[in-house]
Amino acid sequence: MKRFLSTILVLTLVFPIAAFSQGAPKIGTVDMQRAFKEYYKTKDAEAKINDARSAAKKEYDDRAEAYKKALDEINSLNKQLDAPALTAEAKTQKAKERDDKIANIKKMEREINDFSQTRDRQLQEQLTRMREGIVKEITDVVVEKVKTNNMDFVFDKSGVSLNGVPVMLYAPANVDFTNDIIAVLNKPGRSTAGSTSKTAPSPSPTPARAVRP
């Protein structure tokens, strides 16, 4: 909080100097979180990730079902080995069969764990790439607006400081141009320098978190 108050103090001292030397600064605000949420590419990217998550869940369920089947077979062999009427030769054969299945099911356990961890990591990487790409596109549109209107400062009104205090405590409504940014982003046929809709790797069956800027 001391750091936050210090920042306020510095701004209090600097702004009057800037105002006297260069005239009143032209300030604008943008709600980056709202722009991110209402940009159509955000919804498209989330849909693709959710599809990949569903595909991964099916693969995980198939592996889990195969594991359960193998475990049932081991339990069945254990019961057969306990049968009094089982000959020594048959018992040896079934014990070997059981041991082979135990070795195989341990391998399956490792594969399932590796699968889950890999998909978790891929999902996080995909979410990060998507977020960074979309935020960059939004920022580029904001910067273009700033240049066109010769603005001196632009603040993200959705931003929060490390202390949990809103960075923008107050700003008049007429300096906010979030609607203009959203309109440009969602303009039909607008060309972008890069694409954020890369093919998503198959994520893990764990629920995907909502994407936020």
Give the per-residue SS3 of 77-130.
HHHHHCCCCCCHHHHHHHHHHHHHHHHHHHHHHHHHHHHHHHHHHHHHHHHHHH
For 28-74, the pLDDT digits (tens) are 999 999 999 999 999 998 998 888 888 888 899 999 999 999 999 99
| Residue 204 burial (10 A CB sphere; 0-12, 13-18, 19+) | buried
Cα angle, residue 109 at apex, residues 105 and 110 outer, rounded to 5°: 120
> What is the rounded average pLDDT of the residues 140-160?
92
pLDDT for 31: 93
For 92-148, the pLDDT digits (tens) are 888 899 999 999 999 999 999 999 889 888 888 988 898 899 999 999 999 999 999
Share of the chain above pLDDT 90, in %: 43
